Amino acid sequence: MHIVFRNHNYYLKNHLETVVVNKIIELDSNGRLDCCTCKRCMSDLVAYTLNRLPPKYAYIEPGQEYARLEELSNKYGDDIETAINLGSKLVKAYPRHDDTHEKLCNDTDDGVEVFMENYVELLVVERLSDVVEKIDCCKCDHCLSDVAIYTLNRIQPRYVASIKGEAYGKIDTLHLQYETDVLRNLLEGAELVKANPMHTKEDLDKFNGNLSMRFI
């Protein structure tokens, strides 16, 4: 899942998402992945792995997504492969296959969509506007993204693979678990950004007074 900004040509993403997916594809192509490779199982494996790695959120501009991937792959490669190996054993032992999701094991069914979402992202975006309003922080895209990055990189992610819409129905169950950490880090990040804004005149010229964050 990405956090995008309508007024700018960039979005926020955890760079390790791409690194982990690429590593799983590599292991699978080399016959070193010993678990089901249906859409749901692969998404569960990606989520399991990312939940055991430090988040690395940053700006991404079109054409520059792979700028830091080699660096991250080299730094976290061993940890990533260890988490994938452990996760594949769990996915193999406890696949989420039942009558409801039977179609997920059919690679020819393109109508089945599995989404991987980080609940922490949902909470950050949900609470961000209240926090920046409370402390009167600048609401331009650059400042909002700086606050979001500060927060997301300080809270362990909670990725979950789900059928479209499932995560939004379950988010309430995670409020008690994550809300305190999210609010504390949002406040810290917003105070830092307010004191040291990195926006440019162009950022302010594009700002129309409305929060412009959304998910894709």
pLDDT for res 170: 59
Confidence of residue 89 (pLDDT cuts 50, 70, 90): very high
Query: Which tens digits make up the pLDDT trace of 185-204?
Result: 999 999 999 998 887 656 55
Query: Which tens digits make up the pLDDT trace of 133-190?
Result: 999 888 888 888 899 999 999 999 999 887 765 555 555 667 778 889 999 999 999 9
pLDDT for res 34: 87
pLDDT for res 7: 46
The answer to whether residues 53 and 80 touch, using CB atoms and an 8 Å cutoff, is yes
Q: Is the pLDDT of residue 211 over 60?
A: no
Q: Residue 105 and residue 112: Cα distance in Å, rounded? A: 10
Q: Mean pLDDT throughout 69-88?
A: 93
Q: Is the pLDDT of residue 2 over 60?
A: no
Tokens of 123: 């909470």
Whole-prediction pTM value?
0.81
pLDDT for res 160: 86
Mean pLDDT over all residues of the chain? 79
The more confident residue out of 42 and 100 is: 42
Using CA atoms, how far residue 158 sits from 72, 99, 107, 171, 177, in Å, is: 20, 26, 27, 11, 11
**In the chain, what is the greatest distance between 2 CA atoms, to the nearest angstrom?**
56
Locate all alpha helices (DSSP H) within 30-118, ordered by sequence.
39-50, 69-93
Query: Which tens digits make up the pLDDT trace of 108-124?
Result: 444 556 778 888 988 89
The answer to whether residues 10 and 64 touch, using CB atoms and an 8 Å cutoff, is no
The more confident residue out of 50 and 164 is: 50
The more confident residue out of 182 and 13 is: 182
Neighbours of 183 (CB within 10 A): 16
Q: Is the pLDDT of residue 46 over 90?
A: yes
Query: Over the range 63-77, which residues count as b (16 or more CB within 10 Å of their CB) and which as e?
Result: eeeeebeeebbeebe
| Domain edges within the chain | 3-210
